[in-house]
Amino acid sequence: MQTERIIRRKLSDEVLERLLRLISEGNLKAGDAMPSERELMERFGVGRPAIREAMQSLANMGLVSISHGERARVQELTAQSIIRQVDLSAHIMLQRSSGSLEHLKQARLFFERGMVREAAAKAQGSDVERLRATIEEQRRLLGQSEAFMAADMRLHTQIAAISGNPIFISVSEAMLGWLKAYHTELLVWSGKETHTISEHTEIVDHIAKGDAGAAEAAMVRHLERSSVLYTSAAHLTRG
């Protein structure tokens, strides 16, 4: 006979499961205050440590927000809030492995090729105006590396936003945020800001014309040229 072990679960896991059910079934909705610790202790017949551990697990999942002195509240789940939950893990992974940084750059190239094709197919006049306004902002920010980079990241996210898919927007923001920590000052030292503006202008021109193939080719050239600007700390030390 096959053995089937009965695993004794922690009380906090049982509490967590029941709280998750209350949220998933809509008994507790976004913005609602969670029951107090005392209410939950009485409801589930457990002590304060089990309640607090379960609530912290919910907070770690991004399902509730906990503020000192206030009742925890159920959070609205969005694509952005879900992806942000992996930010710290992503940064640790990238710090530990130069190979992970290369994989991220490859993933970004694959992603942005699709996004720019989607933008070329769907862009309205207002979308193109928004992109051109961001490029003009970059022109005004020449020499101001932090602000220039922020505008650069915003342009790429604006391209993703033309898709109308919030998950694409959140993925774009996440990948750009993870890469930002590895951006070197080569951008300013070698005067490549003007190259970036020229490449962005070419990409947006093709989007405006609805030429997906040309937009993709321009995006590939742009990302392959700028890829060297994202360098791991280990590589810089070896250099």
pLDDT digits (tens, 9 = 90+) for 165-200: 999 999 999 999 888 777 654 444 455 788 899 999
Helix axes 11-24, 37-44, angle to 10 degrees: 110
Candidate from 30-34, 43-47, 84-88, 220-224 with smallest mean pLDDT:
84-88
Domains of the chain and CATH, by start:
11-77 (1.10.10.10), 83-238 (1.20.120.530)
Tell me the C-alpha distance between 68 and 141, whole Å: 40
Give pLDDT, residue 218. 97
Cβ atoms of residues 70 and 82 within 8 Å:
no
Give the model's confidence band at 34: pLDDT under 50 very low, under 70 low, under 90 confident, else very high: very high
Give pLDDT, residue 225. 86
Average pLDDT over the chain reads: 85
Cβ atoms of residues 73 and 33 within 8 Å:
yes
Angle at 10 between CA 4 and CA 12, to 5 degrees: 140
Give pLDDT, residue 184. 55
| CB burial string 186-222: b at 16+ within 10 A, e below | ebeeeebbeebbebbbbbbbbbbeeebebbbbbbeeb
Q: Is the confidence at residue 43, as pLDDT, over 80?
A: yes
- The Cα-based distances of 157 to 41, 64, 123, 136, 214 in angstroms read 45, 27, 14, 16, 19
Candidate from 25-34, 108-117, 155-164 with smallest mean pLDDT:
25-34
What does pTM read for this prediction? 0.71
Give pLDDT, residue 236. 36
With H, G, I as helix, E, B as strand and everything else as coil, classify residue 182: coil
pLDDT tens digits along 105-153:
899 999 999 999 999 999 999 999 999 999 999 999 988 888 888 999 9
Greatest alpha-carbon span in the chain: 76
Tell me the C-alpha distance between 156 and 154, whole Å: 5
Give pLDDT, residue 231. 65
Tell me the C-alpha distance between 98 and 78, whole Å: 30
Give pLDDT, residue 191. 59
- Chain-centroid distance, C-alpha 78: 11
Q: Is the confidence at residue 229, as pLDDT, over 80?
A: no
Cβ atoms of residues 219 and 111 within 8 Å:
no
Give pLDDT, residue 230. 66
